[in-house]
Structure 1
């Protein structure tokens, strides 16, 4: 993946938070299926999904692997931040 991190839109952050039961609001059927696929995918298929849907992928990986990821997504969903710094400990 490039060194440029995609910006996560507030609605994507809210959908991912809902998927993980941490607030936000539910996505529509298609977007929820996408989030679920990214969440459950093996490394090879996750890489393919991330290449096509970087905002959703970045948000799911933040929620799953970054110890501050949920708090970051909550701030994004509230409109308090728009940028996400790359964390070297998260497999992006």
Structure 2
């Protein structure tokens, strides 16, 4: 069974920015477009994107779907939490 990727503080800040949350930091244009693609992807394409960008897909999934996702990402961005998704 594969392990969950580690979400680093930079990725956490980019995802927070994408969702308009405090503590976010605007990424470069490629990452912005990649996050838009992840948001728009269906299940099959999300799986394909996750194969290449597991940390980003998991961080975006946490922010969009987990009740405490943005809180966990904020803690990671601030360096005060576990980096596991």
Shorter-chain TM-score above 0.5: yes
RMSD after superposition: 1.2
For residues 57 and 16 of structure 2, what CA distance do their matches in structure 1 show?
Answer: 13
Structure 1 residues 48-71: Cα deviation after superposition (integer angstroms, max 9, x where no partner): 001110010010000011000000
Q: Which stretches of structure 1, 4 residues or longer, exceed 4 Å deviation after superposition?
A: none
Structure 2 residue ranges without an equivalent (≥5): none
The answer as to 2:44 corresponding to 1:44 is: yes
- Report the alpha carbon displacement of residue 3 of structure 1 after superposing the two structures with TM: 4.0
Alignment coverage as a number of residue pairs: 84
CA distance in structure 1 between the aligned counterparts of 2:76 and 2:36, rounded to whole angstroms: 20
Structure 1-normalised TM-score? 0.85
Q: 1:89 — aligned with what?
A: none
Partner of 2:5: 6
SS of alignment partner, residue 79 of structure 1: coil
More helix by share: 2
Residues 62-73 of structure 1: pairs in structure 2 closer than 5 A = 62-73=62-73
